[in-house]
Structure 1
Amino acid sequence: MTPTVDVMDIPQVTLGAINIEAADPRALGAFWAAVTGGTPAPSGDFVYLPPAAPGGFAMFFQPLTGPRPDRLTIHLDLTVPWGTRSAEVERLVSAGATWRWDVLDEHPHVQWTTLADPEGNLFCVAEHPPQA
C-alpha cells in the first residue's frame, strides 16, 4: 500500500537565484541580462539580475574566489518554444555566446544546442516538439 503524503509535508522550495563566480561580474551579468531580458542591479563588485518575468529566475554574479575549474559539473538548460531554437541561438551568439554543438536526433522528445557564455560556462537552449 502506498503511504498518503500530506501536502503540508512537502517542502515549499523555490529557486532563489543561480550564483555564478565570474572574472568580470558586470560583463557576465550584462550578457545574461541580454539572454533573460532582465535588468542588472550592480552593487560594488557584485551584480544581481532579478527575474525578468513571473516564473523566471534570478542570477547573482560575484568575483572569482579561486581558479576556474577545468570542467563544470552543472549547467543551465533553457527552454524555448518549438521551432524557435535556431533563431534564439543566433540571437545569443550575436550577444556574445559561443556555439559548441547541436544535439538534434539523439532523443525524440527534445533537440538542443549547447553554447558557452563569454566566460566559458556551458548552457543549453532546448526545444520540445508539441505533444501529439
Structure 2
Amino acid sequence: MSLAVGMITVDTLQPMPLATWWAEALGGRIVQENDGFFVVLSLAEGAPLLAFQQVDDPTPGKNRIHLDLTTDDREAEVERLIAAGATKIADREMPGFGWVTLADPDGNQFCVAGQHEAEVPPTDV
C-alpha cells in the first residue's frame, strides 16, 4: 500500500478570498471554484493541491497542521507576505536554522525558512 499527499485543505468561513490570497502568495492559480464552497489551487508541477473549504464553524485556536515554506530570500518573502496581509507571529531559531512564523488573513499559521539556512553543526572528535 502506498499513500501520497494529493491535497491539503483549509477550513474557512470565506474560501474565495483566502484562496485568492494564497494563490497570490504562492504563485498558484485557482483551478476549481465550486460555487465558492470549495476552492482549489494548483501550485507547482507535482505539488499537492491546496484547497479552501467553507465551514460554518472553523476549529478555534492554533491550527494543528501548518505549511512550511522555503525560499532563497526569507527576509524579502516575509516582507512581501506581510505587505499582502499576513501577520508576523515570531522569529524562531535553533542552532544553524532560523525561520519566521506568520499567519494568513484567517489566522492560519505557517512558517517561512531559507532553503539553504540549515548547516551541519561541527562535530567534536
TM-score by length of 1: 0.79
> Equivalent residues in 2 for 1:1-132 (5 A)?
11-40=1-30, 41-44=32-35, 45-51=37-43, 53-81=44-72, 84-104=73-93, 106-108=94-96, 110-127=97-114, 128-129=116-117
Unaligned 5+ residue runs, structure 2? 121-125
1:111 counterpart letter in structure 2: G
Q: CA RMSD in A?
A: 1.8
Unaligned 5+ residue runs, structure 1? 1-10
Aligned equivalents of 2:58 and 2:117: distance in 1? 40
Runs of 4+ in 1 over 2 A off after TM superposition: 65-68, 128-132
Whether the 8 Å contact between 2:12 and 2:58 is mirrored in structure 1 is no
Whether the 8 Å contact between 1:25 and 1:62 is mirrored in structure 2 is yes
1:47 counterpart letter in structure 2: V
1:27-55 deviation per Cα after TM superposition (whole angstroms, max 9, x unaligned): 0000110121111131212211012x224
TM-score by length of 2: 0.83
1:101 counterpart letter in structure 2: A
Larger Rg: 1
CA gap of 1:93–1:125, structure 2 versus 1, over 3 A, is same
